[in-house]
Structure 1
Protein backbone atom coordinates (compact mmCIF):
# COMPACT_ATOMS: atom_id res chain seq x y z
CA UNK A 1 0.00 0.00 0.00
CA UNK A 2 1.63 3.21 -1.14
CA UNK A 3 1.30 6.41 0.83
CA UNK A 4 0.64 9.61 -1.02
CA UNK A 5 2.74 12.64 -0.30
CA UNK A 6 0.77 15.58 1.09
CA UNK A 7 -0.53 17.97 -1.53
CA UNK A 8 1.49 21.16 -1.76
CA UNK A 9 -0.23 24.53 -1.56
CA UNK A 10 2.16 26.06 -4.11
CA UNK A 11 3.56 25.37 -7.59
CA UNK A 12 7.08 26.77 -7.09
CA UNK A 13 9.21 27.47 -4.03
CA UNK A 14 11.82 30.24 -4.07
CA UNK A 15 14.27 31.43 -1.44
CA UNK A 16 14.99 35.17 -1.41
CA UNK A 17 17.39 37.17 0.76
CA UNK A 18 17.01 40.82 1.76
CA UNK A 19 20.26 42.71 2.28
CA UNK A 20 20.98 46.30 3.22
CA UNK A 21 21.77 48.46 6.23
CA UNK A 22 19.87 47.72 9.42
CA UNK A 23 17.73 50.87 9.30
CA UNK A 24 16.50 50.82 5.69
CA UNK A 25 13.16 49.18 6.54
CA UNK A 26 13.56 45.57 5.43
CA UNK A 27 11.34 44.44 8.30
CA UNK A 28 8.73 46.96 7.14
CA UNK A 29 8.72 45.28 3.74
CA UNK A 30 8.28 41.83 5.27
CA UNK A 31 5.54 43.03 7.60
CA UNK A 32 3.61 44.48 4.67
CA UNK A 33 3.26 41.10 2.96
CA UNK A 34 0.36 38.71 3.39
CA UNK A 35 0.59 36.78 6.64
CA UNK A 36 2.70 33.65 6.52
CA UNK A 37 5.05 31.70 8.76
CA UNK A 38 7.35 33.96 10.77
CA UNK A 39 9.49 31.30 12.43
CA UNK A 40 12.62 29.93 10.81
CA UNK A 41 12.13 26.30 9.74
CA UNK A 42 15.63 25.54 11.01
CA UNK A 43 15.10 26.90 14.50
CA UNK A 44 17.50 29.84 14.22
CA UNK A 45 16.12 33.10 15.49
CA UNK A 46 19.03 35.23 16.67
CA UNK A 47 19.59 38.11 14.28
CA UNK A 48 17.38 36.55 11.61
CA UNK A 49 14.05 37.81 10.29
CA UNK A 50 12.14 35.17 8.36
CA UNK A 51 8.78 35.11 6.65
CA UNK A 52 6.94 33.16 4.00
CA UNK A 53 4.33 34.46 1.61
CA UNK A 54 2.64 33.16 -1.52
CA UNK A 55 2.16 35.24 -4.66
CA UNK A 56 0.46 34.54 -7.97
CA UNK A 57 2.67 34.74 -11.05
CA UNK A 58 0.82 34.22 -14.32
CA UNK A 59 -1.74 32.09 -12.50
CA UNK A 60 0.87 29.95 -10.72
CA UNK A 61 1.31 29.93 -6.96
CA UNK A 62 4.86 30.86 -6.00
CA UNK A 63 5.78 30.42 -2.35
CA UNK A 64 8.57 32.71 -1.18
CA UNK A 65 10.89 32.07 1.75
CA UNK A 66 12.19 35.51 2.72
CA UNK A 67 15.28 35.91 4.88
CA UNK A 68 16.75 39.10 6.32
CA UNK A 69 20.12 38.35 7.86
CA UNK A 70 21.88 41.65 7.13
CA UNK A 71 22.52 44.62 9.34
CA UNK A 72 23.77 42.34 12.11
CA UNK A 73 27.20 42.24 13.69
CA UNK A 74 27.69 38.64 12.60
CA UNK A 75 26.51 39.35 9.06
CA UNK A 76 29.33 37.58 7.20
CA UNK A 77 28.84 34.33 9.13
CA UNK A 78 25.06 34.51 8.89
CA UNK A 79 24.98 35.46 5.22
CA UNK A 80 27.42 32.69 4.30
CA UNK A 81 25.08 30.16 5.89
CA UNK A 82 21.78 31.51 4.59
CA UNK A 83 22.93 32.39 1.07
CA UNK A 84 23.21 28.71 0.16
CA UNK A 85 20.40 27.82 -2.20
CA UNK A 86 19.17 31.41 -2.58
CA UNK A 87 17.43 32.08 -5.89
CA UNK A 88 17.07 35.86 -5.58
CA UNK A 89 18.32 38.84 -3.60
CA UNK A 90 16.67 42.18 -2.83
CA UNK A 91 19.23 44.92 -2.23
CA UNK A 92 17.38 47.50 -0.13
CA UNK A 93 18.23 51.13 0.64
CA UNK A 94 16.32 54.06 2.13
CA UNK A 95 15.61 56.86 -0.36
CA UNK A 96 15.79 59.38 2.52
CA UNK A 97 19.26 58.19 3.60
CA UNK A 98 22.07 58.67 1.10
CA UNK A 99 24.47 56.73 3.32
CA UNK A 100 22.37 53.60 2.86
CA UNK A 101 22.58 54.05 -0.92
CA UNK A 102 26.33 54.71 -0.86
CA UNK A 103 26.81 51.49 1.14
CA UNK A 104 25.24 49.27 -1.52
CA UNK A 105 28.66 48.59 -3.06
CA UNK A 106 29.69 46.86 0.15
CA UNK A 107 26.58 44.68 0.13
CA UNK A 108 27.02 43.76 -3.52
CA UNK A 109 30.61 42.74 -2.79
CA UNK A 110 29.38 40.38 -0.06
CA UNK A 111 26.67 39.03 -2.36
CA UNK A 112 29.10 38.33 -5.19
CA UNK A 113 31.47 36.60 -2.78
CA UNK A 114 28.91 34.32 -1.13
CA UNK A 115 26.14 34.09 -3.76
CA UNK A 116 27.68 34.75 -7.18
CA UNK A 117 25.33 34.80 -10.14
CA UNK A 118 22.14 35.00 -8.09
CA UNK A 119 19.59 37.44 -9.64
CA UNK A 120 19.28 40.75 -7.80
CA UNK A 121 16.93 43.72 -7.81
CA UNK A 122 17.50 47.17 -6.32
CA UNK A 123 14.74 48.40 -3.99
CA UNK A 124 14.44 51.99 -2.79
CA UNK A 125 12.28 51.90 0.33
CA UNK A 126 10.04 54.53 2.00
CA UNK A 127 8.72 56.23 -1.10
CA UNK A 128 5.99 57.77 1.08
CA UNK A 129 8.77 60.02 2.45
CA UNK A 130 9.73 61.29 -1.00
CA UNK A 131 9.61 64.88 0.29
CA UNK A 132 12.75 63.96 2.29
CA UNK A 133 14.41 62.28 -0.67
CA UNK A 134 18.23 62.20 -0.70
CA UNK A 135 18.66 59.65 -3.52
CA UNK A 136 17.34 60.73 -6.92
CA UNK A 137 15.53 58.35 -9.24
CA UNK A 138 18.01 58.89 -12.13
CA UNK A 139 20.95 58.08 -9.82
CA UNK A 140 19.29 54.85 -8.66
CA UNK A 141 18.29 53.89 -12.20
CA UNK A 142 21.83 54.44 -13.46
CA UNK A 143 23.28 52.39 -10.59
CA UNK A 144 20.81 49.55 -11.21
CA UNK A 145 21.58 49.48 -14.92
CA UNK A 146 25.32 49.53 -14.24
CA UNK A 147 25.00 46.51 -11.95
CA UNK A 148 22.52 44.59 -14.12
CA UNK A 149 19.60 44.88 -11.69
CA UNK A 150 15.92 45.70 -11.97
CA UNK A 151 14.89 48.76 -9.95
CA UNK A 152 11.82 49.57 -7.85
CA UNK A 153 10.87 52.25 -5.38
CA UNK A 154 8.43 50.91 -2.80
CA UNK A 155 6.37 51.97 0.19
CA UNK A 156 5.11 49.40 2.71
CA UNK A 157 3.01 52.13 4.33
CA UNK A 158 0.74 52.52 1.30
CA UNK A 159 1.37 49.03 -0.13
CA UNK A 160 3.08 50.42 -3.21
CA UNK A 161 5.19 48.20 -5.51
CA UNK A 162 5.84 45.62 -2.77
CA UNK A 163 4.15 42.72 -4.54
CA UNK A 164 5.34 43.99 -7.93
CA UNK A 165 8.98 43.86 -6.85
CA UNK A 166 8.66 40.27 -5.62
CA UNK A 167 6.83 39.30 -8.80
CA UNK A 168 9.64 40.72 -10.92
CA UNK A 169 12.37 38.97 -8.93
CA UNK A 170 10.39 35.72 -9.10
CA UNK A 171 10.06 36.07 -12.85
CA UNK A 172 13.81 36.62 -13.23
CA UNK A 173 14.65 33.73 -10.89
CA UNK A 174 12.34 31.29 -12.67
CA UNK A 175 13.71 32.35 -16.04
CA UNK A 176 17.26 31.88 -14.76
CA UNK A 177 16.42 28.30 -13.80
CA UNK A 178 14.60 27.61 -17.06
CA UNK A 179 11.24 27.22 -15.35
CA UNK A 180 9.69 30.21 -17.08
CA UNK A 181 8.77 28.02 -20.03
CA UNK A 182 6.11 26.41 -17.84
CA UNK A 183 4.56 29.84 -17.29
CA UNK A 184 4.05 30.29 -21.02
CA UNK A 185 1.48 28.85 -23.39
CA UNK A 186 3.17 25.51 -23.98
CA UNK A 187 0.23 23.45 -22.76
CA UNK A 188 -3.54 23.47 -22.87
CA UNK A 189 -4.78 26.32 -20.70
CA UNK A 190 -7.90 26.23 -18.60
CA UNK A 191 -10.87 28.34 -19.63
CA UNK A 192 -10.21 30.59 -16.64
CA UNK A 193 -6.60 31.18 -17.70
CA UNK A 194 -7.64 31.91 -21.28
CA UNK A 195 -10.25 34.42 -20.10
CA UNK A 196 -7.71 36.03 -17.76
CA UNK A 197 -5.22 36.52 -20.58
CA UNK A 198 -7.88 38.14 -22.78
CA UNK A 199 -9.09 40.47 -20.02
CA UNK A 200 -5.62 41.78 -19.13
CA UNK A 201 -4.93 42.60 -22.77
CA UNK A 202 -7.70 45.20 -22.69
CA UNK A 203 -7.64 46.29 -19.05
CA UNK A 204 -4.98 48.45 -17.45
CA UNK A 205 -3.58 46.85 -14.25
CA UNK A 206 -4.73 49.82 -12.16
CA UNK A 207 -8.33 49.31 -13.35
CA UNK A 208 -8.51 45.65 -12.37
CA UNK A 209 -9.44 46.55 -8.78
CA UNK A 210 -12.54 48.34 -10.09
CA UNK A 211 -13.90 45.30 -11.92
CA UNK A 212 -17.10 43.82 -10.38
CA UNK A 213 -15.44 40.49 -9.64
CA UNK A 214 -14.71 38.45 -6.49
CA UNK A 215 -11.44 39.27 -4.74
CA UNK A 216 -9.92 35.90 -5.66
CA UNK A 217 -10.54 36.51 -9.37
CA UNK A 218 -9.13 40.03 -9.23
CA UNK A 219 -5.99 38.66 -7.57
CA UNK A 220 -5.64 36.09 -10.33
CA UNK A 221 -6.04 38.78 -12.99
CA UNK A 222 -3.34 40.89 -11.32
CA UNK A 223 -0.96 37.95 -11.50
CA UNK A 224 -1.41 37.85 -15.27
CA UNK A 225 -1.31 41.61 -15.75
CA UNK A 226 2.00 41.97 -13.92
CA UNK A 227 3.64 39.60 -16.40
CA UNK A 228 1.70 40.66 -19.49
CA UNK A 229 3.43 42.35 -22.40
CA UNK A 230 0.11 43.92 -23.42
CA UNK A 231 -0.40 46.39 -20.58
CA UNK A 232 -1.34 49.86 -21.75
CA UNK A 233 0.66 52.82 -20.40
CA UNK A 234 -1.13 55.23 -18.08
CA UNK A 235 0.10 58.82 -17.65
CA UNK A 236 1.24 59.60 -14.13
CA UNK A 237 -0.14 62.62 -12.26
CA UNK A 238 3.46 63.29 -11.23
CA UNK A 239 5.46 63.11 -14.48
CA UNK A 240 8.68 64.29 -12.83
CA UNK A 241 8.44 61.67 -10.07
CA UNK A 242 7.76 58.59 -12.15
CA UNK A 243 9.42 55.37 -11.09
CA UNK A 244 10.61 53.04 -13.83
CA UNK A 245 11.59 49.40 -13.84
CA UNK A 246 15.00 48.82 -15.31
CA UNK A 247 15.04 45.26 -16.61
CA UNK A 248 18.47 43.91 -17.50
CA UNK A 249 17.16 41.39 -19.99
CA UNK A 250 13.93 42.81 -21.41
CA UNK A 251 12.22 46.13 -22.16
CA UNK A 252 10.41 47.92 -19.36
CA UNK A 253 6.75 47.05 -18.89
CA UNK A 254 4.03 49.49 -18.00
CA UNK A 255 2.49 47.21 -15.39
CA UNK A 256 4.04 48.82 -12.33
CA UNK A 257 2.40 51.72 -10.60
CA UNK A 258 4.30 54.94 -11.09
CA UNK A 259 3.38 57.04 -8.06
CA UNK A 260 2.50 56.66 -4.41
CA UNK A 261 -0.15 58.86 -2.84
CA UNK A 262 -1.49 58.73 0.71
CA UNK A 263 -4.89 60.24 1.25
Structure 2
Protein backbone atom coordinates (compact mmCIF):
# COMPACT_ATOMS: atom_id res chain seq x y z
CA UNK A 1 0.00 0.00 0.00
CA UNK A 2 1.51 3.30 -1.10
CA UNK A 3 1.23 6.74 0.41
CA UNK A 4 1.73 9.42 -2.20
CA UNK A 5 2.18 13.18 -2.07
CA UNK A 6 0.96 15.22 -5.01
CA UNK A 7 3.60 17.58 -6.41
CA UNK A 8 0.91 19.51 -8.25
CA UNK A 9 -0.73 20.49 -4.97
CA UNK A 10 2.01 21.50 -2.50
CA UNK A 11 -0.54 22.63 0.09
CA UNK A 12 -1.86 19.15 0.52
CA UNK A 13 -1.01 18.14 4.08
CA UNK A 14 -0.65 14.42 3.40
CA UNK A 15 -0.99 12.15 0.40
CA UNK A 16 -3.99 9.90 0.04
CA UNK A 17 -3.75 6.15 -0.32
CA UNK A 18 -2.87 5.36 -3.91
CA UNK A 19 -5.03 2.84 -5.75
CA UNK A 20 -3.10 2.94 -9.01
CA UNK A 21 -1.46 -0.29 -10.03
CA UNK A 22 1.97 0.72 -11.47
CA UNK A 23 4.70 -0.65 -9.24
CA UNK A 24 6.88 1.93 -7.50
CA UNK A 25 10.30 1.67 -5.95
CA UNK A 26 9.00 2.94 -2.59
CA UNK A 27 6.17 2.26 -0.12
CA UNK A 28 5.71 5.76 1.33
CA UNK A 29 6.50 9.23 0.05
CA UNK A 30 7.16 12.09 2.48
CA UNK A 31 8.04 15.73 1.99
CA UNK A 32 10.53 17.28 4.43
CA UNK A 33 11.74 20.87 4.66
CA UNK A 34 15.15 21.98 5.92
CA UNK A 35 14.98 25.40 7.55
CA UNK A 36 17.67 27.54 9.11
CA UNK A 37 20.10 30.30 8.23
CA UNK A 38 21.83 30.16 4.86
CA UNK A 39 25.28 29.29 6.23
CA UNK A 40 24.43 26.41 8.59
CA UNK A 41 25.24 23.67 6.04
CA UNK A 42 21.84 22.49 4.82
CA UNK A 43 23.27 22.04 1.34
CA UNK A 44 26.05 19.92 2.87
CA UNK A 45 23.41 17.60 4.31
CA UNK A 46 21.69 17.23 0.93
CA UNK A 47 24.95 16.79 -0.97
CA UNK A 48 26.01 14.00 1.37
CA UNK A 49 23.13 11.77 0.25
CA UNK A 50 24.83 9.42 -2.20
CA UNK A 51 21.61 7.89 -3.50
CA UNK A 52 19.80 11.22 -3.80
CA UNK A 53 18.57 12.67 -7.08
CA UNK A 54 18.45 16.38 -7.90
CA UNK A 55 15.32 16.07 -10.05
CA UNK A 56 13.77 19.36 -8.94
CA UNK A 57 10.34 19.99 -10.50
CA UNK A 58 11.36 23.65 -10.82
CA UNK A 59 14.59 22.98 -12.72
CA UNK A 60 17.92 24.54 -11.90
CA UNK A 61 18.64 28.14 -11.03
CA UNK A 62 15.39 28.76 -9.15
CA UNK A 63 17.15 29.14 -5.78
CA UNK A 64 15.58 26.07 -4.17
CA UNK A 65 17.78 23.14 -3.19
CA UNK A 66 15.90 19.91 -3.75
CA UNK A 67 16.87 16.28 -3.44
CA UNK A 68 15.21 12.90 -3.13
CA UNK A 69 16.49 9.88 -1.25
CA UNK A 70 15.09 6.57 -0.05
CA UNK A 71 15.54 5.14 3.43
CA UNK A 72 14.52 1.83 4.95
CA UNK A 73 12.20 2.07 7.95
CA UNK A 74 11.34 -1.25 9.56
CA UNK A 75 11.45 -3.04 6.24
CA UNK A 76 9.46 -0.36 4.38
CA UNK A 77 10.98 1.87 1.70
CA UNK A 78 10.31 5.52 2.48
CA UNK A 79 11.11 8.01 -0.27
CA UNK A 80 11.89 11.50 0.99
CA UNK A 81 11.53 14.75 -0.92
CA UNK A 82 13.95 17.15 0.77
CA UNK A 83 13.50 20.89 0.19
CA UNK A 84 15.65 23.82 1.26
CA UNK A 85 14.18 27.21 0.33
CA UNK A 86 15.12 28.96 3.56
CA UNK A 87 17.95 31.39 4.08
CA UNK A 88 17.11 32.96 0.71
CA UNK A 89 15.40 36.27 1.39
CA UNK A 90 13.87 36.70 -2.08
CA UNK A 91 12.43 33.18 -2.03
CA UNK A 92 10.51 33.67 1.21
CA UNK A 93 7.20 33.46 -0.67
CA UNK A 94 8.15 30.09 -2.17
CA UNK A 95 9.17 28.79 1.25
CA UNK A 96 5.86 29.83 2.76
CA UNK A 97 3.92 28.18 -0.07
CA UNK A 98 5.68 24.82 0.10
CA UNK A 99 5.87 24.65 3.87
CA UNK A 100 2.12 23.99 3.86
CA UNK A 101 2.64 20.68 2.08
CA UNK A 102 5.34 19.32 4.37
CA UNK A 103 5.05 16.27 6.62
CA UNK A 104 8.24 17.01 8.55
CA UNK A 105 10.70 19.83 9.20
CA UNK A 106 14.39 19.72 10.10
CA UNK A 107 15.42 22.86 11.97
CA UNK A 108 19.16 23.16 11.31
CA UNK A 109 21.80 25.24 13.08
CA UNK A 110 25.61 25.24 13.10
CA UNK A 111 27.15 24.08 16.39
CA UNK A 112 30.13 26.40 15.72
CA UNK A 113 27.90 29.45 15.25
CA UNK A 114 25.95 30.63 18.31
CA UNK A 115 24.15 33.22 16.19
CA UNK A 116 22.59 30.50 14.03
CA UNK A 117 21.28 28.79 17.17
CA UNK A 118 19.84 32.03 18.53
CA UNK A 119 17.99 32.54 15.24
CA UNK A 120 15.99 29.31 15.55
CA UNK A 121 13.15 31.14 17.30
CA UNK A 122 12.58 33.18 14.16
CA UNK A 123 12.38 30.05 12.00
CA UNK A 124 10.05 28.27 14.41
CA UNK A 125 7.75 31.29 14.37
CA UNK A 126 7.68 31.13 10.57
CA UNK A 127 7.00 27.39 10.65
CA UNK A 128 4.20 27.66 13.19
CA UNK A 129 2.57 30.39 11.13
CA UNK A 130 2.59 28.52 7.83
CA UNK A 131 2.83 24.85 8.86
CA UNK A 132 1.32 24.51 12.34
CA UNK A 133 1.50 21.09 13.93
CA UNK A 134 4.02 19.63 11.48
CA UNK A 135 6.55 17.37 13.29
CA UNK A 136 9.98 18.94 13.77
CA UNK A 137 13.43 17.82 14.86
CA UNK A 138 16.39 19.97 15.89
CA UNK A 139 19.62 19.27 14.01
CA UNK A 140 23.02 20.58 15.10
CA UNK A 141 25.24 20.44 12.02
CA UNK A 142 29.05 20.16 11.58
CA UNK A 143 29.80 17.86 14.48
CA UNK A 144 33.22 17.21 12.91
CA UNK A 145 34.09 20.75 14.04
CA UNK A 146 33.24 20.04 17.68
CA UNK A 147 36.55 21.58 18.78
CA UNK A 148 35.09 24.93 17.63
CA UNK A 149 31.78 24.37 19.39
CA UNK A 150 29.82 27.45 20.47
CA UNK A 151 26.52 25.69 21.27
CA UNK A 152 26.66 23.14 24.09
CA UNK A 153 24.77 19.86 23.94
CA UNK A 154 22.84 20.57 27.20
CA UNK A 155 21.68 23.95 25.83
CA UNK A 156 20.46 22.35 22.60
CA UNK A 157 18.78 19.49 24.49
CA UNK A 158 16.96 21.90 26.76
CA UNK A 159 15.78 23.96 23.80
CA UNK A 160 14.60 20.86 21.93
CA UNK A 161 12.70 19.58 24.96
CA UNK A 162 11.09 22.97 25.48
CA UNK A 163 9.81 22.96 21.90
CA UNK A 164 8.86 19.26 21.82
CA UNK A 165 11.49 18.26 19.27
CA UNK A 166 13.90 15.35 18.96
CA UNK A 167 17.55 16.41 18.85
CA UNK A 168 20.48 15.20 16.76
CA UNK A 169 23.99 16.40 16.15
CA UNK A 170 25.17 15.39 12.69
CA UNK A 171 28.16 15.54 10.38
CA UNK A 172 27.63 15.24 6.60
CA UNK A 173 31.41 15.06 6.17
CA UNK A 174 31.55 11.86 8.23
CA UNK A 175 28.06 10.61 7.32
CA UNK A 176 27.25 10.70 11.04
CA UNK A 177 23.61 10.62 12.25
CA UNK A 178 22.23 11.88 8.89
CA UNK A 179 20.20 8.76 8.12
CA UNK A 180 19.24 8.38 11.79
CA UNK A 181 17.73 11.87 11.89
CA UNK A 182 15.70 11.17 8.73
CA UNK A 183 14.53 7.85 10.18
CA UNK A 184 13.32 9.47 13.39
CA UNK A 185 11.45 12.26 11.61
CA UNK A 186 9.89 9.75 9.19
CA UNK A 187 8.74 7.59 12.08
CA UNK A 188 7.18 10.60 13.83
CA UNK A 189 5.48 11.80 10.62
CA UNK A 190 4.00 8.39 9.78
CA UNK A 191 2.80 7.92 13.36
CA UNK A 192 1.15 11.35 13.34
CA UNK A 193 -0.92 10.37 10.31
CA UNK A 194 -1.75 6.89 11.60
CA UNK A 195 0.39 5.12 9.01
CA UNK A 196 2.72 3.54 11.56
CA UNK A 197 0.33 0.61 11.96
CA UNK A 198 1.28 -0.55 8.46
CA UNK A 199 4.93 -0.73 9.52
CA UNK A 200 3.97 -3.37 12.08
CA UNK A 201 1.74 -5.46 9.83
CA UNK A 202 1.98 -9.24 9.99
CA UNK A 203 4.07 -10.58 7.14
CA UNK A 204 6.53 -13.30 6.33
CA UNK A 205 9.97 -11.83 7.02
CA UNK A 206 12.81 -12.38 4.60
CA UNK A 207 15.94 -14.22 5.72
CA UNK A 208 17.81 -10.91 5.73
CA UNK A 209 15.16 -9.34 7.96
CA UNK A 210 15.29 -12.25 10.38
CA UNK A 211 19.09 -12.12 10.54
CA UNK A 212 18.99 -8.35 11.05
CA UNK A 213 16.59 -8.67 13.97
CA UNK A 214 18.74 -11.34 15.63
CA UNK A 215 21.90 -9.24 15.23
CA UNK A 216 20.39 -6.06 16.68
CA UNK A 217 18.92 -8.04 19.57
CA UNK A 218 22.41 -8.94 20.76
CA UNK A 219 24.38 -5.91 19.51
CA UNK A 220 24.34 -2.47 21.10
CA UNK A 221 23.70 0.41 18.63
CA UNK A 222 27.13 1.91 19.40
CA UNK A 223 28.77 -1.28 18.10
CA UNK A 224 26.84 -1.68 14.85
CA UNK A 225 29.18 0.68 12.98
CA UNK A 226 32.15 -1.50 13.97
CA UNK A 227 30.73 -4.66 12.39
CA UNK A 228 32.69 -5.84 9.31
CA UNK A 229 29.70 -5.47 6.99
CA UNK A 230 28.93 -3.46 3.83
CA UNK A 231 27.60 0.05 4.41
CA UNK A 232 24.15 -0.88 3.07
CA UNK A 233 23.81 -3.72 5.59
CA UNK A 234 24.97 -1.55 8.49
CA UNK A 235 22.36 1.02 7.48
CA UNK A 236 19.70 -1.71 7.49
CA UNK A 237 20.83 -2.85 10.93
CA UNK A 238 20.63 0.72 12.26
CA UNK A 239 17.07 0.93 10.94
CA UNK A 240 16.02 -2.25 12.72
CA UNK A 241 17.91 -1.18 15.85
CA UNK A 242 16.20 2.23 16.04
CA UNK A 243 12.78 0.68 15.45
CA UNK A 244 13.38 -2.03 18.03
CA UNK A 245 14.48 0.43 20.72
CA UNK A 246 11.51 2.74 20.10
CA UNK A 247 8.87 0.01 19.96
CA UNK A 248 10.19 -2.54 22.48
CA UNK A 249 12.71 -1.08 24.93
CA UNK A 250 14.75 -3.90 26.46
CA UNK A 251 16.79 -3.96 29.68
CA UNK A 252 20.44 -3.25 28.95
CA UNK A 253 23.60 -2.49 30.92
CA UNK A 254 23.92 0.65 28.81
CA UNK A 255 22.05 3.90 29.55
CA UNK A 256 18.64 3.88 27.87
CA UNK A 257 17.72 6.43 25.21
CA UNK A 258 15.28 9.19 26.02
CA UNK A 259 12.04 9.53 24.18
CA UNK A 260 12.53 12.99 22.72
CA UNK A 261 16.17 13.92 23.17
CA UNK A 262 18.49 11.92 20.93
CA UNK A 263 22.13 12.68 21.62
CA UNK A 264 24.99 11.82 19.29
CA UNK A 265 25.95 8.16 19.35
CA UNK A 266 29.48 8.99 20.52
CA UNK A 267 29.52 9.32 24.35
CA UNK A 268 32.45 11.73 24.66
CA UNK A 269 34.33 14.50 22.87
CA UNK A 270 37.30 12.20 22.45
CA UNK A 271 35.32 9.55 20.63
CA UNK A 272 33.46 12.17 18.58
CA UNK A 273 36.72 13.49 17.24
CA UNK A 274 37.98 10.01 16.52
CA UNK A 275 34.80 9.07 14.67
CA UNK A 276 34.86 12.26 12.65
CA UNK A 277 38.57 12.60 11.99
CA UNK A 278 39.66 13.57 8.50
CA UNK A 279 42.48 11.48 7.08
Query: TM-score by structure 2 length?
Result: 0.79
Say if 2:100 is the partner of 1:100: no
Contact 1:205–1:255 (CA<8 Å) still a contact in 2?
Answer: no
Q: CA deviation at 1:244?
A: 9.1
SS of the residue corresponding to residue 94 of structure 2 reads helix
- Match among 151, 159, 168 for residue 135 of structure 1: 151
Distance (Å, rounded) in 1 between the aligned partners of 2:18 and 2:141: 50
Range moving further from structure 2, 4-13 or 93-102? 4-13
Q: 1:137–1:243: 8 Å Cα contact kept in structure 2?
A: no
- Give the Cα–Cα distance (whole angstroms) in 2 for the partners of residues 68 and 28 of structure 1: 11
Q: Deviations over 1:128-178 (max 9, x none)?
A: 111111111111000000000000011111111111111111111111111
**Against the structure 1 CA distance between its residues 259 and 178, is the aligned structure 2 distance closer, same or farther, given a 3 Å change threshold?**
farther
Q: How many residues align?
A: 263
Q: CA 1:6–1:256 in structure 2 vs 1: closer, same or farther (change >3 Å)? A: farther
Distance 1:249 1:86, change over 3 A: farther
Cα 1:254–1:66 shift into 2, 3 Å: farther
Match of 1:145 among 158, 161, 167: 161
Shift of 1:58: 1.1
After the TM superposition, which residues 10-25 of structure 1 pair with which residues of structure 2 at under 5 Å, given as runs? 10-25=26-41
Which runs of 5 or more residues in structure 2 are unaligned? 1-16
Q: Is the 1:53–1:64 contact (alpha carbons within 8 Å) kept by the matching residues of 2?
A: yes
Cα drift, residue 248 of structure 1: 16
Q: What TM-score comes out, normalization by structure 1 length?
A: 0.83
Structure 1 unmatched runs, 5+ = none
**Residue 256 of structure 1 aligns to a residue in which SS?**
helix
Show the 5 A alignment for 1:70-219. 70-211=86-227, 216-219=232-235
Post-superposition Cα deviations, 1:109-130, rounded to whole Å, max 9, x if no partner, equal 0000010000000000011111
Secondary structure of 1:258's match?
Answer: helix
Mean Cα displacement is larger for which, 183-192 or 25-34? 183-192
Residue 2 of structure 1, CA deviation = 17
Report the alpha carbon displacement of residue 181 of structure 1 after superposing the two structures with TM.
1.2
Q: State the Cα RMSD in Å.
A: 5.5
| CA 143–210 in structure 1, closer or farther in 2 if over 3 Å, else same | closer
